[in-house]
C-alpha cells in the first residue's frame, strides 16, 4: 500500500506503511477531532518500521551459489561478529537458493541435507546477535530448480516464522512461466498475476505476526518500483543479476539514475547484492561499487566469502562514513547531477542539510577533471562549501565549484559537503 495521507491539516495523523500494513493512527474529522483508527491495524502497529534504512547483511548466492551449507552460514555468522561487520550494521545472514528439500505428508517444506536443522541454525544465528534470511519463489520451483511456494504460501510463511526467519527474498523464477501459460500475450493480466502472487506472500507473512523484511526479486520488470510498496515490499530488485566484474556492476549502478523518487524509508530500490571482494574487482573498483551502492541508498548485502576476506576488502565494506551515507536517516537515494564522458557526478542529500557528492570515473584512464566543475549549484549549493574527502578520511576545508582532483581509472572520489 502506498504511503497515503489522510486529512492534510497540520498535526493530523499520517498513515504510513510498516511492511505495507497501514498503521492508521486516527482519522481526523473536519472538526479536527480524532476518531478511532480504521482497523487496518495489526500486530505490526507496535513495532518499528521494517527496513527504515536500507537492509544490511550478507547473502550466500554471489560466492557460494548452489554449494552453500549450514556450516557456511555458521562460519559466516561467526565472522560477521569477529570481523566487526555485525557491529558496522551487517546483521542479516541470508540463505539464498538451494536450501530447500521436499515437502512432508502434510505439505510442510523441509530443508535438504545441506541444512539438517533450520531451527537450530536460526537459533545459532540469533545467538550471535544476527538475523536469518531465507529464499523462495511464488512458482512451483526456484530458479535453481528446488521446491518453491506455489500453493503453499501460508504454510511456508508459517514454517519460516516457526524457524525464526527474519527476511524473505521471494524470487519470481518459474512463476514467470505460469503467468505466460495462464495469460498468453496479455501483459496486463500477467502483471496482475505477478502482483497478486507477491501480495499473497505478503499477507501470509503478516499473518504470522513475525516481522520479516520482504525482498522482491523479479529483475525490475513492469516498473516494480511503482507497485512494490503496494505488495508490502521493503526492497525490490531493479535489475537482472549482478556479476563480479566492473562492466556489469557499473552498468547496473549507473542505470539506477531516475529511480530515486521511488526509494524511501521502509522500501528501497535494490540493484542486487554486493560483489565487493569477489571476482577480479580491484581496489578502486571495489571502492566504486561500495560508493555507488551507498549513494543509491541501496541495501548493503555483502556477497563475499568472509573466510577469505582481505584487510582491504574488510576496510571497504566497513568504512563507517560510507555506511553512514547509505544508512542516512533521511532515506533519500542519490541522483546523477552531471555526466561528461566517463565522469559522472552524483549527489545524495543527507539529514541536516549536508550532501554526499561522488565523482565517478568509469573510464579507462585516470581523470584530472580538467574543465569539469563540481556542479554545486545543481545540488542546491552555492559559493564555498566545507568538504571532507571520505575515502581519504581528510578534511579539505573550504572548496568551490572549480575544485578538482585526480579520479583514478574505474575509481571515485567521495566528498561530504555542507
Out of 221, 222, 241, 321, which residue is the one contacting ligand GLA (CB under 6 A)? 241
Q: For residues 271 and 296, what is the distance between their CA atoms, to the nearest angstrom?
A: 9
User: Judged by CB under 6 A, which stretch of 76-84, 141-149, 174-182, 339-347 contacts ligand GLA?
Assistant: 141-149
| 401, 377 Cβ separation under 8 angstroms | yes
Output the smallest distance, CB 272 to ligand GLA, in A: 7
Nearer to ligand GLA, 121 or 216 (CB): 216
Nearer to ligand GLA, 176 or 211 (CB): 176
- Within 145-204, the residues that bind ligand GLA by CB under 6 A are 171
Pick from 354, 352, 332: nearest CA to 418: 354
Is 241 known to be catalytic?
yes
Nearer to ligand GLA, 265 or 303 (CB): 303
- Residue 61 touches ligand GLA, criterion: CB under 6 A: yes
- Residue 323 touches ligand GLA, criterion: CB under 6 A: no
Total residues at the site for ligand GLA (CB under 6 A)? 9
Q: For residues 218 and 222, what is the distance between their CA atoms, to the nearest angstrom?
A: 9
Nearer to ligand GLA, 139 or 277 (CB): 139
Q: For residues 374 and 344, what is the distance between their CA atoms, to the nearest angstrom?
A: 10
Nearer to ligand GLA, 239 or 405 (CB): 239
Helix or strand run (H / E) with residue 269:
strand 268-270
Catalytic residue among 70, 97, 171, 272: 171
The terminus-to-terminus CA distance of the chain in angstroms comes to: 35
Output the CA torsion 316→275→354→361 (10° steps).
90
Cα distances from 365 to residues 242, 369, 392, 404, in angstroms, run: 24, 12, 20, 16
What burial class does residue 307 get, using C-beta atoms within 10 Å of its C-beta: 0-12 exposed, 13-18 middle, 19+ buried?
exposed
Can you say how many angstroms the Cα of residue 293 is from the centroid of all Cα atoms in its chain?
A: 9
Bridging pattern class, strands 167-171 and 335-340: unpaired
Residue 274 DSSP SS3: coil
- Residue 144 touches ligand GLA, criterion: CB under 6 A: yes
Output the smallest distance, CB 100 to ligand GLA, in A: 11
Catalytic residue among 78, 221, 241, 401: 241
Output the smallest distance, CB 97 to ligand GLA, in A: 3
| 22, 40 Cβ separation under 8 angstroms | yes
Nearer to ligand GLA, 96 or 328 (CB): 96
Output the smallest distance, CB 301 to ligand GLA, in A: 10
Binding letters toward ligand GLA, positions 8-47, x by CB under 6 A: ----------------------------------------
Is 171 known to be catalytic?
yes
- Cell reading at 379: 545540488
Percent helix, strand and coil across the chain, each to the nearest 5 = 30, 25, 45
Site for ligand GLA, rule CB under 6 A? 61, 96-97, 142-144, 171, 217, 241
Catalytic (active-site) positions: 171, 241
Amino acid at each position: 500500500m502506498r504511503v497515503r495521507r489522510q486529512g492534510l491539516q497540520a498535526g493530523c495523523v499520517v498513515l504510513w506503511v510498516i511492511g505495507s500494513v497501514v498503521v492508521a493512527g486516527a482519522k481526523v474529522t473536519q472538526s479536527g477531532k480524532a476518531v478511532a483508527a480504521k482497523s487496518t491495524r495489526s500486530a505490526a502497529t507496535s513495532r518499528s518500521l521494517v527496513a527504515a534504512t536500507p537492509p544490511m547483511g550478507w547473502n550466500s548466492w554471489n560466492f557460494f551459489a548452489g554449494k552453500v551449507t549450514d556450516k557456511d552460514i555458521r562460519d559466516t555468522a561467526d565472522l560477521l561478529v569477529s570481523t566487526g561487520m555485525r557491529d558496522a550494521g551487517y546483521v542479516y545472514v541470508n540463505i539464498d537458493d538451494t536450501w530447500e528439500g521436499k515437502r512432508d505428508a502434510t505439505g510442510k517444506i523441509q530443508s535438504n541435507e545441506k541444512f539438517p536443522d533450520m531451527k537450530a541454525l536460526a537459533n545459532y544465528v540469533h545467538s550471535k546477535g544476527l538475523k536469518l534470511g531465507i529464499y523462495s519463489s511464488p512458482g512451483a520451483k526456484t530458479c535453481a530448480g528446488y521446491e518453491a511456494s506455489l500453493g503453499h504460501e501460508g504454510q511456508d510463511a508459517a514454517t519460516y516464522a516457526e524457524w525464526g526467519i527474519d527476511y524473505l527474498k521471494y524470487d519470481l523464477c518459474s512463476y514467470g512461466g505460469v503467468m505466460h501459460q495462464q495469460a498468453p500475450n496479455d501483459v496486463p493480466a500477467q502483471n496482475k498475476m505477478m502482483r497478486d502472487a507477491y501480495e499473497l506472500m505478503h499477507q501470509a507473512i503478516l499473518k504470522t505476526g513475525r516481522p520479516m523484511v520482504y525482498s522482491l526479486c523479479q529483475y525490475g520488470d513492469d516498473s516494480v518500483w511503482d507497485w512494490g510498496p503496494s505488495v508490502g515490499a521493503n526492497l525490490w530488485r531493479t535489475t537482472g543479476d549482478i556479476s563480479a566484474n566492473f562492466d556489469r556492476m557499473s552498468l547496473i549502478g549507473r542505470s539506477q539514475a531516475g529511480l530515486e523518487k521511488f526509494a524511501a524509508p521502509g522500501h528501497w530500490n535494490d540493484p542486487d547484492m554486493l560483489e565487493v571482494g569477489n571476482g577480479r574487482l580491484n581496489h578502486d573498483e571495489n571502492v566504486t561499487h561500495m560508493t555507488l551502492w551507498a549513494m543509491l541508498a541501496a541495501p548493503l548485502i555483502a556477497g563475499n566469502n568472509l573466510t577469505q576476506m582481505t584487510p582491504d576488502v574488510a576496510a571497504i565494506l566497513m568504512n563507517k562514513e560510507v555506511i553512514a551515507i547509505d544508512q542516512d536517516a533521511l532515506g533519500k537515494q542519490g541522483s546523477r547531477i552531471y555526466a561528461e564522458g566517463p565522469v559522472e557526478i552524483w549527489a545524495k542529500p543527507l539529514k541536516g542539510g549536508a550532501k554526499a557528492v561522488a565523482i565517478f570515473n568509469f573510464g579507462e584512464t585516470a581523470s584530472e577533471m580538467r574543465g569539469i566543475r563540481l556542479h554545486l549549484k545543481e545540488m542546491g549549493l552555492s559559493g564555498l562549501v566545507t568538504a571532507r574527502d571520505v575515502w581519504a578520511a581528510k578534511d579539505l576545508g573550504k572548496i568551490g565549484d572549480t575544485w578538482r582532483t585526480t579520479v583514478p581509472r574505474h575509481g571515485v572520489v567521495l566528498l561530504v559537503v555542507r
